[in-house]
C-alpha cells in the first residue's frame, strides 16, 4: 500500500520473541538498526503500583469498613493472606476494634491456639464482641471462670447487652460456685440494664422475674408489660431483617388457632415460632449469637455431656452448660428438660417443649420405678 506521495508504508517489524529483538525500517526502507525492547516492572522502572501510593490511613479505613461488615471469618482472613502490607495494616487496633460479631463465628471443630490468640488480640484492641465471645468460651468451655467473667465484665462496662445478660444468668444460677453464691438482686440489676439497652431475652427474663417475684418485689402488671415489649421488639427485629433480605412476611403474620407443631413434624416452609404466637404471628426463631453456637457445637462434639452429672440448657439456641450438679432449674411438669433461665424456658416452650411435655405424675412414676432420685437442691421451673 502506497501513500499519496507514492511512498510505501513500512513493513511490519520483524520481532524475535526469544531475544525480544525488534527490527525497524524508516519510510525510505533504510535499516535503522536492532535494539532490545526492555520490559521493566514498576519497581525497576521507578514507577510503583498505584495502590502502594495510597496512605496507610486510607487503607486502614477501608479495612475497618470490611471488618465491620464481614459475614464470616474467611472474609477477613482472605485479606491477611494477600500480602505483608495488608496483614500488618489489617491487624491494627483500629481495624480489629470495629470487627463485627460474625467475624468471630469460629467453628468449635476449628478451635486452635491461633484462634484463641486472634480473639485475645481483638479483645485487647477494645472490641467488645471479642471480649464477650472469648469470655463465654473461657468461662464455659475452657473452665477458666475468672478470666472469662472478667472479659464479659469488660464488655458489660461498655454497655454490651449480651454480656450484661450473660452475667445476669451467672448471678441467678451462681455459676462457677456453689448454690450459696447466687445473687438474685445483682442478676435483676444486670438484667434490667440489658433490657434498657433493648436485649430481648433480658426483657423476657425481667418480665418473668417481676411476675414471679424472683429477686425483686412482685409486680404482675409490670412484668406483663415487659413481656409484651419483648414480643414487640422481636417482631420489629424479624421484620427489619426480612425487609433487608427481601423475604416474604405475609405467611408469618397469618393468625392460626392451632398450636405450633414440633420442629420434627413442621413443614419446611413454615418456620418455627417463639412467644409471638401469643399474638397471632408465625415468625422464625431468632438467630443464636456466635458465642452460643460455639458452646452448642463444643459440647455436641463431646457427646452433649459437659461433665459427670452435668446438663446442658435444653433451649437449642442457648448452649450454656451447668458448672455444678443441679445448677439449672428443670420443668415442673415433666422434669425431662432444664433451663439456665426463665427466658430460655419460655422460648423453648413455644418452640418445641409445649408439644412434648408429659404430666409430672408420669415423671414421678418413672423415678419410682428405678430412675435417679432428685436431689434436694434441684430447683424446678414452672411450665408456661
Tracing cell 411450665 back to the chain, one arrives at: 383
Read off the pLDDT of each residue in 7-17 and give the average, rounded to a whole number: 47
pLDDT at residue 123 tops 90: yes
Residues with Cβ < 8 Å from 135, sequence gap 6 or more? Answer: 147, 148, 149, 150, 151, 152, 153, 154, 155, 163, 166
Q: Which of 169, 97, 170, 104 is nearest to 128 (CA)?
A: 97
pLDDT of amino acid 271: 44
Q: How far apart are the first and last CA of the chain?
A: 95
pTM: 0.74
Strand partners, 31: 25
Please give the angle made by the CA atoms of 93, 99 and 103, to the nearest 5 degrees: 130
State the average pLDDT for the chain: 77
Pick the residue with more confidence: 44 or 175?
175
Q: Which of 33-42, 75-84, 149-158, 330-339 tops mean pLDDT?
A: 149-158
pLDDT band at 242 (very low <50, low <70, confident <90, very high): low
Residue 380 has a pLDDT of 53
The domains of the chain are located at 52-97, 288-353
Q: Tell me which of 334 and 282 has the higher pLDDT.
A: 334
User: In which band, very low, low, confident or very high, does the pLDDT at 56 lie, cut at 50, 70 and 90?
Assistant: confident
Q: What is the DSSP string of 39-52?
A: ---HHHHT---GGG
Nearest 10 degrees: Cα torsion 348, 352, 354, 360? -80
Structure confidence at residue 3 (pLDDT): 54
Amino acid at each position: 500500500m502506497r501513500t499519496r506521495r507514492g511512498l510505501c508504508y513500512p513493513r511490519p517489524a520483524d520481532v524475535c520473541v526469544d531475544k525480544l529483538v525488534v527490527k525497524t525500517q524508516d519510510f525510505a526502507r533504510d535499516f535503522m538498526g536492532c535494539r532490545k525492547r526492555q520490559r521493566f516492572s514498576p519497581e525497576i522502572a521507578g514507577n510503583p503500583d498505584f495502590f502502594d501510593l495510597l496512605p496507610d490511613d486510607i487503607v486502614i479505613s477501608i479495612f475497618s469498613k470490611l471488618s465491620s461488615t464481614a459475614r464470616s471469618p474467611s472474609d477477613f482472613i482472605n485479606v491477611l493472606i494477600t500480602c505483608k502490607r495488608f496483614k500488618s495494616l489489617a491487624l491494627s487496633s483500629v481495624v480489629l476494634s470495629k470487627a463485627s460479631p460474625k467475624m468471630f463465628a469460629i467453628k468449635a471443630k476449628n478451635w486452635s491456639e491461633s484462634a484463641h490468640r486472634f480473639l485475645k488480640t481483638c479483645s485487647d484492641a477494645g472490641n467488645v464482641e471479642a471480649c464477650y465471645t472469648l469470655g463465654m468460651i473461657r468461662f464455659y468451655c475452657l473452665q477458666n471462670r475468672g478470666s472469662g467473667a472478667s472479659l464479659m465484665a469488660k464488655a458489660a462496662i461498655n454497655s454490651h447487652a449480651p454480656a450484661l445478660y450473660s452475667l445476669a444468668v451467672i448471678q441467678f444460677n451462681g455459676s462457677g460456685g456453689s448454690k450459696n453464691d447466687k445473687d438474685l438482686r445483682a442478676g435483676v440489676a444486670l438484667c434490667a440494664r440489658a433490657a434498657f439497652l433493648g436485649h430481648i431475652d433480658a426483657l423476657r427474663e425481667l418480665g418473668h422475674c417481676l411476675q414471679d417475684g424472683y429477686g425483686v418485689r412482685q409486680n404482675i402488671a409490670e412484668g406483663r408489660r415487659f413481656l409484651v415489649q419483648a414480643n414487640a421488639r422481636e417482631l420489629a427485629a424479624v421484620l427489619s431483617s426480612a425487609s433487608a433480605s427481601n423475604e416474604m412476611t405475609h405467611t408469618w403474620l397469618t393468625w392460626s388457632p392451632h398450636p405450633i407443631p414440633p420442629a420434627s413434624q413442621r413443614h419446611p416452609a413454615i418456620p418455627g415460632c417463639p412467644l409471638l404466637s401469643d399474638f397471632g404471628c408465625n415468625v422464625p426463631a431468632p438467630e443464636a449469637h456466635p458465642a452460643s453456637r460455639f458452646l452448642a457445637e463444643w459440647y455436641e462434639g463431646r457427646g452433649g455431656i459437659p461433665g459427670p452429672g452435668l446438663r446442658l440448657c435444653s433451649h437449642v439456641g442457648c448452649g450454656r452448660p451447668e458448672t455444678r450438679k443441679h445448677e439449672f432449674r428443670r420443668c415442673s411438669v415433666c422434669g425431662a428438660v432444664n433451663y439456665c433461665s426463665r427466658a430460655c424456658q419460655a422460648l423453648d416452650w413455644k418452640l418445641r417443649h409445649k408439644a412434648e411435655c408429659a404430666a409430672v405424675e408420669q415423671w414421678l412414676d418413672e423415678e419410682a420405678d428405678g430412675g435417679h432420685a432428685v436431689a434436694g437442691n434441684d430447683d424446678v421451673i414452672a411450665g408456661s
